[in-house]
Structure 1
Amino acid sequence: MMKPGTLILHVAARFLVPLQMLFSIFLLLRGHDEPGGGFIAGLVASGALALYLFTFGAMMTRDLMRVDPRNLIGLGLVIAMLSTLPGWAQNEPFLTAQWWPMTLPGGTELKLSTPLIFDIGVYLTVLGTVMTMLVALTETEER
């Protein structure tokens, strides 16, 4: 069994993990317009969960994730592939971006798009890949 981290690490992890996850979502959502996107956002989220993993162990991290990281890889690939279908439905070339502006209550405009759907797929794939490796390495060490 992994030796638990220090009290300072426990407190820091409980504070930093939610902040890192929020920052990863921020990077994901702004990625198709400015620097960021699914890949770097997935790495930031993986860093947050890695901190949690090294602080509390593999079992607690699996409980926090609530889904097997390998399933995230498959789900991410399916979502990324689904982002290609709206272009084909419009008789446009493969991976042609489609935009759907929506007005929210209060007059704020939200732009949903196929690049965002693709980035979400990349995000989940990167997160699942990194966490699969880290959890596997940590579980091997815990035995």
Structure 2
Amino acid sequence: MTSLIFRTTTRLLFWAMLVASLVILWRGHNQPGGGFVGGLVAAMAFGVVAMAQGVEAARRRLRVHPVALAGLGVALAALSGLPGMALGQGFLAHQWLIFDSGFKIGTTLVFDVGVYGAVMGGMLCLILRLYETDATSDLAAGNQEQCR
């Protein structure tokens, strides 16, 4: 049983961690960070919910299966470089919009979003499975289903 204080602060901590993960994703496009670290922070936000309120509460907030999220992220990352290649600029070299501050929106940002989804989905598959209360009984019964 978790404490009332932890369960209550999880509501705020969850949203703060998600916003921080998006800032890391956005900022990391031109600086260190990006999709990988942002995806880890987002997965940890759901991990905190799973720890405080249970795995089912985290799954309800996620609304998509972690394996599907990882697969979509890998597909998006793999396909993100095709526009640049089609225009002869090279893989991940195509930029759609460049702001005065130097920030660029283009194939590299789409790639980072794909990595964000892949890392978040993969980590959530691991985290949610580890937090399952009946994981040992499932394995003992011979149920080898991945990431339920």
| TM-score, normalising length: structure 1 | 0.86
Computed over aligned residues only, the root mean square deviation of the Cα atoms, in angstroms, reads 2.2
Q: CA deviation at 1:141?
A: 5.8
- Specify the alignment match of 1:30 in structure 2: 27
Q: What whole-Å deviation, never above 9, does each CA across 1:90-136 have from its counterpart, x for those lacking one?
A: 1233x241111178xxxx99732111000000000000001001111
2:129 to 136, 140, 143: 136
> In structure 1, what is the Cα distance between the partners aligned to 2:92 and 2:108?
9
Q: Which structure has more RCO (C-alpha within 8 Å, separation ≥ 6)?
A: 1
Contact 1:39–1:122 (Cα < 8 Å) also in 2: yes
| Equivalent position amino acid for 1:115 in 2 | T
- Specify the alignment match of 1:14 in structure 2: 11
> In structure 2, what is the Cα distance between the partners aligned to 1:47 and 1:142?
25
> In structure 1, what is the Cα distance between the partners aligned to 2:136 and 2:58?
15
2:75 to 71, 75, 78: 78
User: Segments of 4+ in structure 1 off by > 6 A?
Assistant: none
- Specify the alignment match of 1:98 in structure 2: 94
Residue range with higher mean Cα deviation, 112-121 or 84-93 = 84-93
| Equivalent position amino acid for 2:117 in 1 | L
Q: CA deviation at 1:142?
A: 8.7
Q: CA deviation at 1:9?
A: 0.5
Q: How many residues align?
A: 136
| Equivalent position amino acid for 2:86 in 1 | A
Contact 1:28–1:38 (Cα < 8 Å) also in 2: yes
Aligned to 2:73, what secondary structure does the other structure show? helix
State the identity as a percent.
Answer: 36
Aligned to 1:25, what secondary structure does the other structure show? helix
| TM-score, normalising length: structure 2 | 0.83
- Unaligned stretches of 5+ residues in structure 2: 139-148
- Specify the alignment match of 1:119 in structure 2: 112
> In structure 1, what is the Cα distance between the partners aligned to 2:59 and 2:30?
33
- Specify the alignment match of 2:141 in structure 1: none
Aligned to 2:6, what secondary structure does the other structure show? helix
